[in-house]
């Protein structure tokens, strides 16, 4: 079978591998769609957040079809449409597609207890967005849920940030995206944001004050993962605001007005992934409240996976790139 393989840091190839053999509690999955994430590039660049070893098959945002089940597997059978969680193992010590081989292959194996059935209402393209959308949906839960009373600022117009816009807007909050790129601001307005503001504009402070009636935002979701943007979350927040940090930074620093945490009585949360919220996320998507497939801007067959990686690195041209294997 064909697979995208990260052979070593900074070396990716499309290779021929043996089809995996499954154990009694495992499932063989035929991959259909796989999203490329910023963390895949951290893996490729050799600086992922947990220890990994090479070679490894990436791919943690995926949808597929059950091809074979182990003897001890109940509740799944060949032909079932499935998606799967990526923070797995005891205590979440393993990450599927990182420390465990992932879905960027024609076939891959997974434990049955990592998998969820994909409702017929959802396409394979949408299925491959369950993982990133679950992170965005989890951000709204970490904020104590959001509702029509909330003015929500989302910092960062990358895929997760745009999905956070969709999740908050679907909960009828008034959403503002804070993002310097015009194309991402325009997309956010199409996806449900009421406003999209450029943080580098000379009138940015006045615009945020006008957006919130001068009180500051009730909820701030930081999805950029850039140190300066993370620090700015404290400034955008209003009194008693809930601030959720979703974007990931590894080892960088930036000055921040830490006194605002107390003077504004802020509630701060940091989240990593979305363990425990996948069933809710899938029901949320199946309801038709949002269509996250709108952020997919390009797709490539598996044999062109290296082109897909290049397209995904071009964040000026693309938001979310998928590899399609079937």
In percent, how much of the chain has pLDDT > 70? Answer: 100
CA dist 238 and 218 (Å) reads 6
Superfamily of domain 132-270: NAD(P)-binding Rossmann-like Domain (3.40.50.720)
pLDDT value at residue 275: 84
Q: Which CATH architecture has domain 2-121+288-324?
A: Alpha-Beta Complex (3.90)
* pLDDT digit string, tens, across residues 71-100: 999 999 999 999 999 988 787 889 999 999
Residue 294, Cβ density class (10 Å: 0-12 exposed, 13-18 middle, ≥19 buried) = middle
Q: What is the mean pLDDT of residues 35-63?
A: 94
Q: Where are the strands (E) in the chain, listed by range?
A: 2-8, 11-16, 26-35, 61-69, 81-84, 87-88, 94-95, 107-111, 115-117, 151-155, 174-178, 195-197, 217-222, 237-245, 267-270, 296-301, 320-324
What the block records as the tokens of 159 is 């895929």
Q: State the average pLDDT for the chain.
A: 96
pLDDT value at residue 42: 92
pLDDT value at residue 93: 86
**Domain ranges for the chain:** 2-121+288-324, 132-270
Fill in the DSSP letter of residue 20: P
CA dist 287 and 304 (Å) reads 34
pLDDT value at residue 90: 80
Determine contact, residues 242/150, Cβ cutoff 8 Å. no
CA dist 95 and 80 (Å) reads 23
pLDDT tier, 248 (very low <50, low <70, confident <90, very high otherwise): confident
User: How many CA atoms lie within 13 Å of 105's alpha carbon, on the beta-carbon side?
Assistant: 24
User: How many CA atoms lie within 13 Å of 125's alpha carbon, on the beta-carbon side?
Assistant: 13
This prediction has a pTM of 0.95
Q: Write the CB contacts of 308 (distance below 8 Å, at least 6 apart in sequence).
A: 36, 298, 299, 300, 321, 322, 323
Residue 228's H or E segment, with its range, is helix 227-236
Fill in the DSSP letter of residue 105: B
In the predicted model, is pLDDT for residue 326 greater than 80? no
């Amino acid at each position: 079978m064909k697979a995208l393989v990260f052979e070593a840091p900074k070396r990716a190839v499309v290779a021929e591998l043996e089809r995996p053999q499954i154990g009694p509690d495992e499932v063989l999955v035929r991959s259909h769609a796989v999203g490329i994430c910023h963390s895949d590039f951290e893996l490729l660049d050799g600086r992922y957040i947990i220890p990994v070893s090479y070679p490894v098959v990436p791919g943690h945002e995926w949808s597929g079809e059950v091809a074979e089940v182990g003897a001890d597997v109940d509740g799944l059978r060949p032909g079932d449409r499935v998606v799967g969680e990526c923070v797995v193992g005891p205590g979440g010590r393993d990450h599927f597609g990182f420390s465990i081989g992932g879905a960027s292959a024609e076939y891959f194996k997974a434990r049955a207890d990592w998998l969820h059935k994909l409702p017929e209402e959802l396409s394979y393209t949408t299925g491959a967005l369950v993982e990133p959308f679950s992170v965005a949906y989890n951000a709204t839960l970490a904020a104590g849920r959001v509702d029509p009373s909330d003015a929500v600022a989302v910092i960062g117009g990358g895929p997760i940030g745009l999905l956070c816009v969709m999740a908050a807007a679907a909960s009828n909050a008034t959403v503002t995206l804070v993002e310097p790129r015009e194309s991402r601001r325009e997309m956010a307005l199409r996806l449900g944001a009421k406003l999209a503001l450029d943080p580098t504009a000379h009138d940015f402070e006045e615009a945020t004050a006008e957006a919130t009636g001068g009180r500051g935002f009730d909820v701030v979701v930081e999805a950029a993962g850039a140190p300066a943007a993370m620090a700015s979350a404290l400034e955008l927040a209003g009194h008693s605001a809930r601030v959720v940090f979703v974007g990931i930074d590894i080892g960088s620093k930036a000055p921040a007005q830490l006194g605002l945490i107390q003077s504004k009585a802020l509630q701060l949360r940091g989240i990593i992934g979305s363990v425990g919220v996948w069933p809710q996320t899938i029901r949320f998507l199946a309801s038709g409240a949002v269509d996250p497939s709108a952020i997919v801007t390009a797709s490539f067959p598996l044999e062109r996976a290296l082109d897909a990686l290049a397209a995904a690195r071009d964040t000026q041209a693309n938001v979310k790139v998928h590899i399609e294997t079937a």
